[in-house]
Amino acid sequence: MEPQASNLLDEALGFHGHANPGRPGGRFVLIEDCLDTSGAVVLHHLIKRSLVSHPYSVVIFLAFNHPFAHYDRILRKLGCNLAAQRDNSRFFFIDMLMCQCPDDGKIPQFWLTGLFEKIEGLISSLHPDSKNFVTIMIDDVSLFEVAANGSSNDVLDFMHYCLTLTSEFDSTFVALDHKDIYLDGEKPILILEMEYLADILIKVEPLATGLAKDVHGQLTVMNKETQNPQISSPIKIRNFHFRIKENSIEYFYPGTKAW
Amino acid sequence: MSASKTQVSSFSPNVPNVTSPQNPGLKRGPNGTTFVSSGIPDLDKILGGGFSLGSLVMVMEDADAPHHMLLLRNFMSQGLVHKQPLFYASPSRDPRGFLGTLPNPRSFEDEKSRDLPHPPSFEDEKSREHDPSNDKKLRIAWQYEKYIGEPQRNISSSNGARHDYCNDFDLRKPLERQFFNGAHVDCVSIKDLTNFTLLQDQCATFLAQFSRKESKVSPAGRIAIQSFCSPQCKYSNMEWQMLSFIRSLKSMAQSSNAVVVVTFPSSLPSPSCSKRLQHMADTLLSVKAIPDEDKEMEKLLTGYKDMVGLLNIHKVARLNTQVPLILETTTFSLKLEKRRFLVLECLNQAPVDGSSGDSYGKSGGCSGSTKAGPLEF
């Protein structure tokens, strides 16, 4: 075993044995969850992974869901001090909780342009060494849509811009969205297009038999980058269970864990 | 190896649920959260202490029955008993009228009759007289008890440290006037609301008093919004505005010492909008009526006749932590104890005769499942 033990999720994401262990470079990671099982866990894991992977790595976090204190407390238990990283200008928390696109008939593009320019400005102001280790995260896209008064197309455009930006710098874009919103959908275009664009798709689902004390849900990781010879595993879709604890998450294949 | 690892990492400090002495309506929970009571002792227990301050609680209504009102009433009454300011919005023309239907906490007599099954006998009286520790004051209080106003009695009953944090509410008695004295209650009608700016501003001003930054021991506030997006409100074509209102309400609540309870009919807005609302909730409950004469159900469930409805718990607020709260069971029956007090009970499946999987059925009666069906076995 390696000193920094990687778990099943890291392996599935391609962290394991990758040239840049600890971060997937130039990729779009989409996390889909549903009402019963929250995908926030994966997001927290990725924040930590991104920050500890490289001394220059930077995370830009667009928070629509929770205040900073929430993430700070969780990440502290995971062994990552967000407040300190924020002071070191390695974690940029963009508080979007109260931001709402002005609803006066104007198209929300101005509002989104402003937001994008902010992110662009942040990246361009970074140390040149950091520029290639940027991760942009959105928590979560469905609330982003609400903040943009429901104009999914503009949100999609914004994500396209972000993707272009991240691919330019070989950095990573992570988005969380709730799949079940779009299931009986009038407008599934957003989720469909995101799924198409995503290089890695992580589905967080409850067990078919309901939640249990020992197994909190299952992850399905679809890694579309199989042509990359550096990825050791030829398996395209991986499915495993997880159990969340305060300071760690256990991943295991179905049926391999006995309590 | 795995066993030892499990032991180490599953360590979690067991934070005692302490009621803060200055403020009996608040209880400290784990991860720096503070609870206020939902007004239903059983629900508090199930949720691990009550509703977290700063959380958004959403209740999905049943179109056929007003069970969500039971939850709202107890929630509001509990707030008034604790002297917590209240903001109430409803689609009715006269929302203030609803305050007249709030239940009263279990009265002192009830409490006493429950605590002391036998009325004080003559011996008790005598021993009281001879006991040197009983001073004159106490005897006067005993003799003139009926002349002493309700507040003192309540204080004395709460000194018993039984119902400081959460009261039992007697649904048959209206909340007594004295609880309204000096109470800060805002009532707003959301009927024919054409835009949410006004309501949002009202909520913002209300929540501004509970801002977390100002002082640490500020009182908690409660916001109750009843039947949000019901047809009376006439904003079915404004789903995005509705969603952004709830979103901003949630954000405002997150930075204040307040709990927001919103009930909404989940079938009325479009499915995706309803799902979005459910995702926004920190704590998500749903109530369901049960059909009056369902013979099959009656056979299946014990105590079916006493049930007034079912309560489903879909999501429990997890602030400042990522570990989900897994409940033993997510469906509870709403019952009225003595036709007065709201209690929640696990569903008990009656033994099915002649069935081969008898023991299996019994053990599986309360298994937890998250599927939204009203009954699951």
Express each pLDDT in B125-175 by its tens digit.
444 444 444 444 455 555 555 554 434 333 333 333 344 788 888 888 888
d(CA A75, CA A78): 5
* Any domain includes B1: no
Same domain, yes or no: B189 and B286: yes
Q: What is the pLDDT of residues B231-249, one digit of tens each?
A: 776 666 688 888 989 999 9
Find the CATH number of the domain harbouring A149: 3.40.50.300
CB contact burial A137-157 (16+ within 10 A = b; e otherwise): bbbbbbbbbbbbbbbbebbbe
A70 lies within 8 A of chain B by CB: yes
Which chain B residue is nearest to residue A213, measuring alpha carbons? Answer: B326
Q: Is any Cβ of chain B less than 8 angstroms from the Cβ of A256? A: no
Overall domain count for chain A: 1
Query: Which CATH number is B289's domain given?
Result: 3.40.50.300
Residue A258 lies in a domain: no
Please report the pLDDT score of residue B127 as a whole number: 45
Residue B374 domain-assigned (yes or no): no
Among the candidates B96, B127, B162, a domain finishes at B162
Are residues B137 and B46 part of one domain?
A: no
Residue of B nearest to A250 (CA): B6
pLDDT given for residue B225 in this prediction: 93
Contact A171, A136 (CB under 8 A): yes
Q: How confident is the model over B52-102, as pLDDT tens digits?
A: 999 999 999 988 888 999 999 999 999 999 889 999 998 888 888 898 899
CB-nearest to B370 from A41, A142, A210 is A210
pLDDT at A16: 55
Question: Does residue B306 have a cis peptide bond before it, meaning omega lies within 30 degrees of 0?
Answer: no
- What pLDDT is recorded for position A242? 92
Res B264 pLDDT > 80: yes
Is pLDDT larger for residue B32 or for residue B116? B32
Query: Among B134, B162, B190, where does a domain finish?
Result: B162
Same domain, B264 and B214: yes
Domain of residue B322: give its range: 14-104+170-366
What is residue B316's three-state secondary structure?
coil
Chain A CB within 8 Å of residue B284 CB: yes
Mean pLDDT across chain B, nearest whole number?
Answer: 75
For residue A65, give the DSSP letter. S
Predicted pLDDT of residue B239:
84
Asked if the structure places residue B190 within a domain, the reply is yes
**What ipTM did this prediction achieve?**
0.89
Residue A257 placed within a domain: no
Selected for mutation to probe chain B from A62, A70, A94 (highest B CB count within 10 Å) is A70
- The answer to whether residue B355 scores a pLDDT higher than 60 is no
Instruction: Give the structural domain span for A46.
Output: 8-252
Residue B375 lies in a domain: no
Taking 50 as the pLDDT cut, the residues of chain A under it are 1-4, 17-22
> Is residue B360, in this structure, part of any structural domain at all?
yes
- Burial classification of residue A42, based on how many CB atoms lie within 10 Å of its CB (0-12 exposed, 13-18 middle, 19 or more buried): buried
| Rounded Cα gap, residues B151 and B57, in angstroms | 30
Q: Is A214 helix (H, G, I), strand (E, B) or coil?
A: coil
Confidence (pLDDT) at B122: 42
Domain contains B3 = no
Reading the block at residue A7, the tokens are: 């778990």
Shared domain for B132 and B174, answered yes or no, is: no
Q: In chain B, what percentage of residues exceed pLDDT 90?
A: 24
User: What local confidence, expressed as pLDDT, does residue A144 receive?
Assistant: 92
Look at B376 and B224; give whichever has higher pLDDT.
B224
